[in-house]
Each structure stands twice: as C-alpha cells, then as structure tokens.
Structure 1
Amino acid sequence: MISITICDDEPGTCSDIENIILNYTHSHAIETVIEIFYSGETLYESMEKGYRTDLLFLDIQLFEMNGVEVGKKIREQLGNEKISIIYISSKETYAMSLFQVRPFDFLVKPLTRERILETLEKCIKITEINKGIFYFNIAKTIHKLYFDEIKYFECKGKKIEIHSQNDVIEYYSGMKEVEKQVIGKGFLAIHKSYIVNTMFISAYHYESVEITDGTVLPVSQKYRKKMKSYLLELL
C-alpha cells in the first residue's frame, strides 16, 4: 500500500496528476490511496492531527501558507523525514531555496506524464525499500523494526546499538550480520562502526555525515570512495 497526497490550489492540476498516478498504479497492480488538498493550511492541520502519507506532490505557489513553508513545518515542527516531497512550480528559480526541506524532486509546470511517472517510479521503489523489516535477537526473542524507523547502527565491541527515531536499542551481534540485512536497501556503510540510513542524512561532508537530529558521524577513508560514488549517483 502506497499513500500519495497531492496539494495544489488548481483543481485541474490535481486531477491530472491523480489520473496519471491511478492509471499507472492500476496497470502495475500497485495498491494506492490518493488524497487531495487545495491549500497548505488544510494539509498541515491534517498532518498535525496525525494524517500520514508516503509521497507528497506539493505546489509552491499556494495562497497564505505556501509550499516552502509547509515543507519546512513538516520537517522541522513535525520532525517528519519519512515523507518524500515532490515540489511543483511554474518557476525554476525556487529550486535552490528548497535545500533545507530536502525534497525528493522538483517538477516544473506544465507537467508532463513522462516526468511525473519518472519521479513516481523512483519514489515507489524507495518507499518499498524503506518499508523493509530489520530483525534482531534479544534474550532468545526475535524483535523487528521497520527500516524507516532506523537512523543508524553503531557497533560497540560485541554489541550493536540501533539508533531509531524513538529509542536506542542494544543487542549482541556484529556489523557483518547487520550488513547482510540492510546494505543495498537504503543504508550506507561509512565506517567500521557505523551504517547509516541515507533517508536520515541531512548533510554530506568529506570526513563526516550529519544526521537529521544533529548527530555527526565520521566517514573513514576506506568508505569515502563508496560514498562519493553514491553521491554522484544521487546527483
């Protein structure tokens, strides 16, 4: 199940995007729920009350609370880093001002079916990866966490610490066992002691990465080449 939200004050644009998505997901047997909002205020109020979505097509030029403000509130006030935000605008000049919101993509009007589907396919792929499950054993009991709950893994001797959004969980294991479950599924090894969920990286540096909660983790020389290749692929 993929939850998709469209927020644009032009009903025609919302309808066009919705029809393109529905035709695609129906032909690919992807179960989808689509919600439409016509203002940033109603969208944000709903999210404050607990409304959640996987993908958000968000127009920038909304009345009163514009798309940039909505995105910042989602990231900073609600602390929601899971949602993939795809901005929509008739002006390319907005692109650089969106860096702090960490959008997934930026679509310029007039929208094309090809461009919408290109972004949609990438988002669905990443969403499905992030909904994967990590299994671990504590006191002969198997526990699990969804990938999108995990910020990073830290190795401390014979123990692994899972730094999740809500807690730090410690159990006996090694990094090789962690790698078998998560590498290639949205996680990046940056050090012999750290594996990071790329969804929670807010800034990349040559010798370190910054997590969305402000934590700075070192990138050892051994892993810098791999990280550079990953960044080039992203760009």
Structure 2
Amino acid sequence: MAKGILIVDDASFMRMMIKDILTKNGFEVVGEAENGITAVEKYKELNPELVIMDITMPEMDGIQAVKEIKSIDPNSKIIMCSAMGQQAMVIEAIQAGAKDFIVKPFQHERVIEAVKKALS
C-alpha cells in the first residue's frame, strides 16, 4: 500500500537518493522541499503521512521545521536525517517530536526499516 512521503533536504542529490530507495520499495513520494520553510508549506499543502527531513538546512533547519509541523499536526510522523557526529542535534530533534533518525550516508535497509516503523 503506497503511503505519501515528503522528502526534505537542501541537497537535491540526497532527495534523489531517498526518493530512489523509497520508490523501489513501493512507497510514494508526494513532494520534496529544499529547506524548513518550504517543508512546512508543503506539509500544509500535501498532508503527507510521513516526512523524511534533513537537520542541517539553510533558512530554517530541520529541528525548527519539526516544531512548526508538530504545532500544525501533533500526529505528524517525521524521520530526521543527519550526518555522522550530530548526536546532540539528533537528540534535540527526537525531543522536538521526530520519530526516528537515519544517518548519512544512507543504508537502504535502514531507510526502509525506519519508514516502515514510523508508518506502522
């Protein structure tokens, strides 16, 4: 069963990689955003079942965007992405309401496992 996912990352190749992993595993990507501000707008517009969001982005970072999205929809499901060594930010993101996090570079199995867990 396809579920709508919004991908948020300032790097287009990262969005492309995540989208590729998801679509090959039967998930539907309903939108993409390159920063937190756009992510919040797209969330309101698309109402996706899941958001996969980078932490470090220009204009509005992922943590701030999680807080904004959670204030709009307390039941929103968000998975954070971070590079190695950002543990403090990951903890902050989880406290802000993120369900899980995946570390870059992505392992395909880990991405799918996190998505399935968040949607179950």
TM over 0.5: yes
Partner of 2:76: 83
- The letter of the residue matching 2:8 is C
The structure carrying a bigger strand percent of its residues is 1
Q: Which runs of 5+ in 1 are unaligned?
A: 127-235
Distance across 1 between alignment mates of 2:108 and 2:6: 17
Q: Which runs of 5+ in 2 are unaligned?
A: none
Q: Percent identity?
A: 26
Mapping for residues 198-209 of structure 1, pairs under 5 Å: none
Shift of 1:33: 4.0
The structure carrying a bigger helix percent of its residues is 2
2:35 to 29, 39, 45: 39
Shift of 1:43: 1.7
Partner of 1:118: 113
2:99 maps to 1:107: no
- The letter of the residue matching 2:18 is I
Distance across 2 between alignment mates of 1:112 and 1:103: 19
Distance across 2 between alignment mates of 1:56 and 1:122: 13
What does the per-residue CA deviation read over 1:214-235, in whole Å, with 9 as the maximum and x for residues that have no partner? Answer: xxxxxxxxxxxxxxxxxxxxxx
Structure 1 residue ranges, 4+ long, deviating more than 3 angstroms after superposition:
none
- The letter of the residue matching 1:104 is K
What does the per-residue CA deviation read over 1:79-98, in whole Å, with 9 as the maximum and x for residues that have no partner? Answer: x1222100011122312212
| Structure ranking higher on relative contact order (CA contacts 8 Å, 6+ apart) | 2
Q: How many residues align structurally? A: 117
Shift of 1:109: 1.2
Distance across 2 between alignment mates of 1:111 and 1:33: 17
Partner of 1:92: 87
Question: In the alignment, is the contact (CA less than 8 A) between 1:92 and 1:108 conserved in 2?
Answer: no
Report the secondary structure of 1:57's partner residue: strand
Larger Rg: 1
Mapping for residues 173-192 of structure 1, pairs under 5 Å: none
Question: In the alignment, is the contact (CA less than 8 A) between 1:6 and 1:14 conserved in 2?
Answer: yes
Q: 1:115 to 1:63 in 2, by over 3 A?
A: same
Distance across 2 between alignment mates of 1:83 and 1:100: 14
Mapping for residues 5-20 of structure 1, pairs under 5 Å: 5-20=6-21
